[in-house]
Structure 1
Amino acid sequence: MIWIAGLFLIAHGLLHLAIWLPKPDKKMPFDAGHSPFAGNVRRLAAVLAVAAALVLAAGGLGLIGGASWWAPATISGAAISAALLLLTFNKWWLIALGINAAIIVLSLQQIG
């Protein structure tokens, strides 16, 4: 089960790269580089996506490897991801916000 959870965290992190790094596609139902609050935030979104991907992947690898720091790293990665989702918010991100909330709650349970 640890392997599955760790691989899920790694995949969740890599998904950020797949969504926010490519150039926008006009066929997509939303623009991942657009913020309803701040307009074009493509560069900031890309930086946050890379940060979320790196930290979530590190948390996943830490979990698989039994490192003591995996939970704080995972919480940090999910928080970065949530900030990115809120910055570029659209209705498609509601489930992703739920996933990040679940990651944070489950990781906090492992700390306490």
Structure 2
Amino acid sequence: MANIDDELLADAEENAREVEFIKNQLSFELKEKFSDEDYYYMLDKILDYYYNSGVLDQEPDKEGFVDIDLDKVAEYVCQKAKEDNHGEFDPQDVFFVVQADMDFEEQSISE
């Protein structure tokens, strides 16, 4: 059984891989708009949205998928960033981060 330090280290490594994956999916101009801290913040808020919006409680369709409105996720991230005084993000820019995050998650599931 792994101890808490091992689990935290594994989570941190997974988050770092995810941020690098996302940055590799974005255009140069877009990737330069955000710091690594911004990416980690956005990942945290994306997870918050999934857990608090009820989207994870939806019944999957016949193919086993749940419909997630990425625009709503991006808007949520932008709203929370403003509320938390983390900065003001453009929802159109954040949309591409949310989309890349979804791609990362789908890739991780299929591995």
Q: TM-score, normalised by structure 2?
A: 0.33
TM-score (norm 1): 0.33
